[in-house]
């Protein structure tokens, strides 16, 4: 998918002995680029994800579980400028939803509604200069803030998915600390 290709390209562009750049999100999300999401389209589509299906309005319908909400609260931003890129993925790492939000204060709260209960993970980064990517220094170390659900620490690349996933079975609020080098 689009995010996976960008991650692969990023890793091959600037490998590093210390840290390989590890987060790059793209937007629009997978749902925005699927057939039937064009304005005025009446085409139907099915999304094969744990009981989710959709229609041309982009609405998700839960077929076997009540939807839940996830609220993500960030730690403090180093600078109040730029954008926050955020992604919610399932237990296999496939993107469920995400977005880009302007940084307008020292912290941001992002609400995701109508998620299917299950195992999910969140990752995000602070794009301080609004160039649409996680900038790195000469050694590949991120020069902008980033963070993950469960706040795992990893010195060499993105923490394993198993360290970032958590169970989402009811409306939940999580706090993600931003890491700046």
Q: Where are the domains of the chain?
A: 2-176
State the average pLDDT for the chain.
76
Q: What mean pLDDT is predicted for residues 26-39?
A: 35
What whole-number distance in Å separates Cα of residue 34 and Cα of residue 70? 23
Q: Is the pTM of this model over 0.75?
A: no
Judged against a pLDDT cut of 50, whether residue 146 lies above it is answered with yes
The strand pairing partners of 102, in sequence order, are 83
Judged against a pLDDT cut of 70, whether residue 3 lies above it is answered with no
Q: What mean pLDDT is predicted for residues 133-137?
A: 96
Task: Give the contacts of 172 (CB within 8 A, at least 6 positions apart).
Answer: 68, 69, 70, 71
Give residue 156's pLDDT.
Answer: 83
Tokens in use for 45? 């589509």
| Choice between 85 and 50, residue whose per-residue pLDDT is larger | 85
| Choice between 168 and 2, residue whose per-residue pLDDT is larger | 168
Q: Are strands 95-102 and 83-90 parallel, antiparallel or unpaired?
A: antiparallel
């Amino acid at each position: 998918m689009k995010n996976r290709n960008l991650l692969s390209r990023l890793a091959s562009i600037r490998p590093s002995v210390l840290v390989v750049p590890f987060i790059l999100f793209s937007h629009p999300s997978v749902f925005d680029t699927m057939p039937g999401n064009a304005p005025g389209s009446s085409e139907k589509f099915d999304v094969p994800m744990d009981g989710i299906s959709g229609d041309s309005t982009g609405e998700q319908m839960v077929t076997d579980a009540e939807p839940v909400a996830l609220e993500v609260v960030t730690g403090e931003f180093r600078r109040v400028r730029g954008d926050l890129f955020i992604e919610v993925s399932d237990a296999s790492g496939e993107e469920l939803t995400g977005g880009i939000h302007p940084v307008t204060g020292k912290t941001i709260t992002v609400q995701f509604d109508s998620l299917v209960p299950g195992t999910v993970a969140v990752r995000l980064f602070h794009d301080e200069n609004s160039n649409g990517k996680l900038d790195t220094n000469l050694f590949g170390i991120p020069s902008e803030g980033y963070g993950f659900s469960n706040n795992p620490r990893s010195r060499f690349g993105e923490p394993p998915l198993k360290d970032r996933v958590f169970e989402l079975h009811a409306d939940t609020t999580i706090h993600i600390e931003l890491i700046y080098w």
